[in-house]
A and B are shown apart, each in its own frame.
Chain A
C-alpha cells in the first residue's frame, strides 16, 4: 500500500494548486495565453486526477453525475444567454457593444461572460466523459441513468 500512499498524498497536495491554476488561466485569458477551453480542461484534469487515484465512486461523491450533466447545459446556456441578452438590449445577436455604457467595456464584459460559459461547459464535459469510461468497468449492476 506504500505506493498508493505516495500517490494519495501528492494528489491531495496538488489538487488545490491545479484548480487554482485553472481559475487563473480562465480569468487571465484576456492578458496572456489561456481562456475558456484551456481552463476547462485543466479544471477537469484536477477532478479526473482525484477520481483516478481515489476511485470513481469516491469521485462521484465529490462531483455527482447529475451535477456534471447539468453544468454542461448551464455552461452552454450562459453562452447563448449572453447572446439573447444582447438581443434584448437592442443589438444584434452576440453584439457585446450594448452590454455596458461604453462599447469597449461591453466587449470586455461579454468576452468574460462567454469564456466563463465555455469553461464551465468544457470542464463538465471532460469530467462526464471520463466518468462514463471509467465507470463502465464496474460490474455490480448499479443503474446509472439519472
Chain B
C-alpha cells in the first residue's frame, strides 16, 4: 500500500502516456495524431514536475520565513519544453493543412493508397 501511495504519480503519468501513444499509432487522421502527441507531451511534463516536488515545501521563490523549497530545475526544463512544444505543434498543423491542400485528405490510409496508385493527381 505504501508502494502505491509513493508511486501513484508515476502510474498516472504512464496511463496518460500510453493513452497518447495509442492515439498516435492507432488513429489515421493527421490532426488526431497531433492531439495524441500533445497528450503524450503533457504527461511527460507531469512526470518531471512530480519528480521535483518535496512534501511540505513551497514554490521556489525565496521569501522570508520559508525554509523548504521545491526543486526549481525541473520547472526550468519544462518551461522551455512547453514553448517548444507549442511551436512544433504549430509546424505540424501547418504541414497537415498543406497536405490537405495538395492531396485532398488527411487520413493516412487514403494518402498511402494514393501514393501507390498514381502520384501527382
Is A bound to B?
A: yes
Binding site for B on A (CB under 8 A): 31-33, 37, 41, 122, 125, 129, 132-133, 136
Smallest beta-carbon distance A124→chain B, Å: 13
Which residue of chain B has the shortest Cβ distance to A136 in the bound complex?
A: B97
With a cutoff of 8 Å between Cβ atoms, the chain A residues found around residue B94 in the complex are 132-133
In the bound complex, CA of A27 to CA of B90 (Å): 27
Q: Is B61 engaged at the interface, CB distance under 8 Å to the other chain?
A: yes
What are 7 A-B contacts defined by CB distance under 8 Å? A33-B61, A37-B79, A37-B83, A122-B83, A129-B90, A133-B90, A133-B97
B interface, CB within 8 angstroms of A: 59, 61, 79, 82-83, 87, 90, 93-94, 97
Bound-complex Cα distance A41 to B19 (A): 28
Chain B contacts for A133, CB-based, 8 A = 90, 93-94, 97
| Smallest beta-carbon distance B71→chain A, Å | 16
Q: Which residues of B contact A31 (CB under 8 A)?
A: 61
> Given A133-B93, A133-B94, A136-B97, A32–B79 Cβ distance below 8 Å?
no
Given contacts A37-B79, A37-B83, A122-B83, contact A32 B61 (CB under 8 A): yes
Q: For residue B110, give the distance in angstroms from its CB to the closest CB of chain A.
A: 22
Most buried by A among B79, B87, B90, B94: B90
CB distance from A21 to the nearest CB of B (A): 19
5 nearest CB pairs, A to B = A129-B90, A37-B83, A37-B79, A32-B61, A122-B83
Chain B residues with CB under 8 A of A132: 94
Supply 11 further A-B pairs (C-beta < 8 A) apart from A37-B83, A125-B87, A129-B90. A31-B61, A32-B61, A33-B59, A33-B61, A37-B79, A41-B83, A122-B83, A132-B94, A133-B93, A133-B94, A136-B97
